[in-house]
Structure formats: structure tokens, C-alpha cells
């Protein structure tokens, strides 16, 4: 059974890990020693929520092939997701000792370093992303030299360009101001849905929507390479309380279109799902772990004096079991872009959201935001913290174990109940 003929790979490519696992187990019944099938079994077990099974599978294979760099990264990834960082680092280091240029090992080592707050190593290794298939596909091959931090900026035009997710752009657009402080003429290219919002970032920064004709420029830098260029550490993150603002006219418009936003009491924005990334099975797995069933947020809406306001966009916005039921205020039908969403957020007392662009938007606007975070959290939220050096107004409620949303939601509900009682205020909101 050659690798191209493995029948479950088509299931995995579609994101159907459960169906592929059934096929895979059936195939292993006939060829139990097939090494590639056994490796895929480990990957499928990890994807379907059985990290212990995945670890056992990879360890058994490594006992037979101790120098296999791919297997070492597979095992290290399972250990990192379980919070066993030192063991994971050992796996990645061993893989790199075998294959120093190993793409996945370098990428995994970068994310682990960033998550641990080791920005010196993390940002440097993070550049390996440009060797991955996704980033190779979006690399525009500019003939202009990249800016890596050493080249003087005074009097030169620096073209900054967004890379992938909306949240990334909102989080790292703050660096455009630092480039302007260094004397650069800054042009910031972002996704069209963000162009109007980011137009007010700084009068020295020209913001343009992706797809418009490119201006003349001297140097360029992708947004997520700016922390490396500026030598950012955890202690030197440029964390202004608010670096974006909603337009007053849009605030008036949203309140006119959605009168419920003027309702008395505590108004709490909620978002329960991220981008499902159709066509990207690996990203789909992350989205499943970070997204929650809408009904799980119901305890927030049961608190007296609290009105839930939907900030959910995309396919999950129409879920039948939305928190708050008929009482949920949903202004998203009137929202055209992130500038409109910002106008809604500006009128809220608090935002409670999973790890999606809404968290970054609320944080950038300087609004109180509570992040409901998965156990194997994204590197940007760091290990072992309930606050964020990126957003001073953000509080993290994290899963104590993979898949368990009951604890962080109960903690958030208790904090919200305390906050809704004006005497005294809840500790997380002081």
C-alpha cells in the first residue's frame, strides 16, 4: 500500500478526521505494520481529541525509528498542546539536530518560544513561515529590499502589508506608528474589510486596501515581521490602552439602526466562533478547538440586568441555539465592515469572546474584553497568564483541560455577576 493510495487521506484533506479515522482503522486491520498508516493514525487521534492515544502511537513508532525528524515533531506537537513544553522542546531540538533545516521543527520551535515569552528566539525563528506552502503562495516577490530593522527609515517610504487573519492585522498594525516615529513615510496595506477602521490609526500612516495599485516605496515589511525588526520583548510591547477608535458618525448610525443598543443596563458583546477556514483542514482543527457551542454562553445572559449583544459574523452567526435566545440583540445585519463593528463595540460595557478578531478589535479600542481561551492556546496569549501585555484591558479565562469550556464560562459568569452589581465592582474589571 503506497502512500498515494492511502484512501483516508482524501477524508483528512476534506477535514473529515473522524471518517478518515474509521477508514484508517479498517486498513490497519489488514496491514497493521504499515508505517505511514500508523503515523497517520497518530495524527488522526490527535485531531479527534485523543492526545494520549496519539502520544502512544508516535512513541511506538519512534522506538522503531528513533532518528525520524517528522515523528519527533509529531510527538513534540502533541506534548506542546498538552502544556508539556520542556518535553516538546526536547523533541524539536532532537529533530533539528538530525535535520537542521527541518521546516516543521523550526516552525514549532518558533511558536513554542513565543508562547513561553522568549521573543528573541521566537521572532527570529518565526520567519520560517515564509517557507511554508501557504506563505509561499502569498509571497509577492517584491523587488524592493525587505526592512529587517537595521536599515535607516528616515526619509524613506516603508510599505507594510497584512498577511493572513484579520486579528493579526489589528494586533500588529500598531507598529506602523513606531515606523513613523523612526522617520519613515509609512504605507499600510490591509484587507479591504479593515481599511476604513485602520484609516484613523495615525495621520502619518497612509492606509490602503489590498487590491489597489501599489505605491512607490523603498522598503517593505510584512506586519508580523515588525516585532522582530523592532526587537520587541514582552517588556517592550507597544501596548497603548487604545490605538484605534470608532468613528462618531458610525456610532450614531449603528444606534439609530439598532435601538436596542440604547437599552438600559449592562450591555455585553459576545462572539462564540472564529473563521472556519473552508479548504484548510489544519486551520479547521484549530477553529474547532477555539470555538464553542453558542448555547454554552447562556449563563451570561441569565444574569439580571445584562443584555447580550451579538458580535458574531460568518456562518456561526445564524446558529439556532444562540445565547440569550430571542433576547439576544443582533446588530450584525447592519454591519458592513470592521469600522461598523467597532461602532457597536464602542457602545458596549464589556466584550466576552473566544480567540477571534473580535478580541483584538475590542482590545485595540481599549474596551474591557474577556477572552475565553482554549487549553492549547495561541502563542500570542503566552503561557500561564490571565492578562495580556498586548492589551491592557484584556482578561483571560482559560480551559483547565482540553475541551472543557464549563470552567472558564462559569468563571466569566461569576465575574460578570459581580461586575453587574455596582457595589463593589468585580475584581477583573477594576
Per-residue pLDDT band at 33 (split at 50, 70, 90): confident
Does 367 reside within a domain?
yes
Q: How many CB atoms lie within 10 A of CB 255?
A: 17
Does 385 reside within a domain?
yes
Per-residue pLDDT band at 4 (split at 50, 70, 90): very low
Element holding 88 (H helix, E strand):
helix 85-98
| 67/119 same-domain check | yes
Does 429 reside within a domain?
no
Q: Is the pLDDT confidence value at 5 over 60?
A: no
The pLDDT score that the predictor gives to residue 429 is 44
The pLDDT score that the predictor gives to residue 284 is 80
Per-residue pLDDT band at 422 (split at 50, 70, 90): low
Q: Domain end: 137, 168, 201, which one?
A: 137
Does 428 reside within a domain?
no
The pLDDT score that the predictor gives to residue 423 is 53
Write the pLDDT tens digit of every residue in 275-320: 877 767 777 888 889 999 999 999 999 999 999 999 999 888 888 8
Report the pLDDT averaged over residues 331-360.
96
Q: Is the pLDDT confidence value at 49 over 90?
A: no
The CATH number linked to 160 is: 3.40.50
| 271/386 same-domain check | yes
Per-residue pLDDT band at 89 (split at 50, 70, 90): very high
The CATH number linked to 56 is: 1.25.40.10
Judge contact between 204 and 180, C-beta under 8 A: yes
Per-residue pLDDT band at 187 (split at 50, 70, 90): very high
| 321/204 same-domain check | no
Does 187 reside within a domain?
yes
This prediction has a pTM of 0.92
Report the pLDDT averaged over residues 352-362.
97
Percent of the chain scored above 70 by pLDDT?
96
Q: How many CB atoms lie within 10 A of CB 322?
A: 22
Does 162 reside within a domain?
yes
Percent of the chain scored above 90 by pLDDT?
75
Per-residue pLDDT band at 104 (split at 50, 70, 90): very high
Q: Is the pLDDT confidence value at 195 over 50?
A: yes
Overall domain count for the chain: 3
Does 232 reside within a domain?
yes
| 271/373 same-domain check | yes
Write the pLDDT tens digit of every residue in 202-227: 999 999 999 999 999 999 999 999 99
Q: Domain end: 121, 137, 153, which one?
A: 137
More confident residue, 93 or 32: 93
| 225/265 same-domain check | no
Report the pLDDT averaged over residues 2-7.
52
DSSP per residue over 107-152, as a string?
A: HHHHHHHHHTT-HHHHHHHHGGGGGSHHHHHH----SSPBP-SSS-
| 165/271 same-domain check | no
Q: Domain end: 236, 270, 290, which one?
A: 236
| 397/321 same-domain check | yes
Report the pLDDT averaged over residues 59-75.
96
Element holding 87 (H helix, E strand):
helix 85-98
| 275/374 same-domain check | yes
| 28/153 same-domain check | no
The CA distance from 228 to 218, in Å, is: 19
The values of phi and psi at residue 219, to 5°, are -135, 160
The CA distance from 275 to 193, in Å, is: 14
Element holding 409 (H helix, E strand):
helix 406-420
In sequence order, which ranges of 294-354 are alpha helices (DSSP H)? 298-301, 338-346
The CA distance from 142 to 150, in Å, is: 19
Does 313 reside within a domain?
yes
| 14/86 same-domain check | yes
Judge contact between 145 and 151, C-beta under 8 A: yes
| 252/284 same-domain check | yes
Query: Which domain covers residue 113, as residue numbers?
Result: 3-137
The pLDDT score that the predictor gives to residue 321 is 86
Query: Edge to edge, what strands does the sheet with 185-190 contain?
Result: 205-209, 185-190, 157-161, 219-222
Report the pLDDT averaged over residues 330-345.
95
Element holding 159 (H helix, E strand):
strand 157-161
Write the pLDDT tens digit of every residue in 358-414: 999 999 999 999 999 999 999 999 999 999 999 999 999 999 999 899 999 999 999
| 263/388 same-domain check | yes
Amino acid at each position: 500500500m503506497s502512500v498515494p493510495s492511502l484512501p483516508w487521506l482524501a477524508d483528512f484533506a476534506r477535514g473529515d478526521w473522524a471518517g478518515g479515522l474509521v477508514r484508517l482503522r479498517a486498513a490497519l486491520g489488514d496491514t497493521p505494520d504499515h508505517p505511514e498508516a500508523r503515523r497517520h493514525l497518530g495524527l488522526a487521534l490527535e485531531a479527534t481529541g485523543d492526545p494520549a492515544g496519539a502520544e502512544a502511537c508516535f512513541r511506538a513508532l519512534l522506538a522503531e525509528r528513533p532518528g525520524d525528524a517528522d515523528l519527533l515533531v509529531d510527538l513534540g506537537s502533541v506534548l506542546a498542546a498538552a502544556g508539556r513544553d520542556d518535553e516538546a522542546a526536547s523533541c524539536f531540538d532532537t529533530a533539528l539536530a538530525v535535520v537542521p533545516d527541518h521546516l516543521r521543527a523550526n516552525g514549532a520551535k518558533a511558536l513554542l518560544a513565543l508562547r513561553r515569552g522568549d521573543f528573541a528566539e521566537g521572532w527570529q525563528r518565526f520567519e520560517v513561515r515564509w517557507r511554508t506552502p501557504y506563505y509561499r503562495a502569498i509571497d509577492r516577490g517584491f523587488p524592493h529590499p525587505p526592512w529587517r530593522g537595521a536599515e535607516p527609515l528616515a526619509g524613506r517610504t516603508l510599505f507594510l502589508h497584512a498577511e493572513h487573519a484579520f486579528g493579526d492585522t489589528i494586533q500588529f498594525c500598531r507598529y506602523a506608528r513606531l515606523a513613523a516615529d523612526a522617520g519613515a513615510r509609512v504605507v499600510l496595506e490591509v484587507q479591504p474589510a479593515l481599511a476604513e477602521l485602520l484609516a484613523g490609526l495615525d495621520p502619518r500612516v497612509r492606509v490602503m486596501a489590498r487590491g489597489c495599485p501599489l505605491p512607490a516605496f523603498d522598503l517593505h515589511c510584512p506586519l508580523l515581521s515588525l516585532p522582530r525588526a523592532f526587537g520587541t520583548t514582552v517588556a517592550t510591547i507597544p501596548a497603548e490602552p487604545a490605538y484605534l477608535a470608532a468613528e462618531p458618525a458610525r456610532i450614531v448610525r449603528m444606534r439609530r439602526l439598532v435601538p436596542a443598543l440604547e437599552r438600559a443596563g449592562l450591555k455585553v458583546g459576545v462572539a462564540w466562533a472564529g473563521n472556519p477556514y473552508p479548504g484548510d483542514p489544519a486551520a479547521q482543527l484549530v477553529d474547532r478547538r477555539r470555538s464553542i457551542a453558542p448555547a454554552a454562553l447562556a449563563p451570561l445572559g441569565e444574569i439580571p440586568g445584562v443584555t447580550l449583544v451579538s458580535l458574531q459574523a460568518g456562518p456561526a452567526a445564524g446558529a439556532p441555539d444562540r445565547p440569550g435566545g430571542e433576547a439576544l440583540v443582533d446588530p450584525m445585519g447592519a454591519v458592513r465592515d470592521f469600522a461598523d463593528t467597532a461602532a457597536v463595540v464602542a457602545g458596549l460595557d464589556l466584550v466576552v469572546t473566544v480567540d477571534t478578531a473580535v478580541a483584538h478589535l475590542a482590545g485595540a479600542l481599549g474596551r474591557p474584553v474577556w477572552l475565553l481561551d482554549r487549553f492549547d492556546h495561541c502563542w500570542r496569549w503566552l503561557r500561564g497568564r490571565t492578562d495580556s501585555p498586548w492589551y491592557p484591558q484584556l482578561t483571560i479565562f482559560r480551559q483547565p483541560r482540553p475541551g472543557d469550556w464549563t470552567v472558564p464560562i462559569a468563571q466569566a459568569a461569576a465575574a460578570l455577576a459581580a461586575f453587574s452589581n455596582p457595589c463593589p465592582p468585580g475584581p477583573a474589571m477594576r
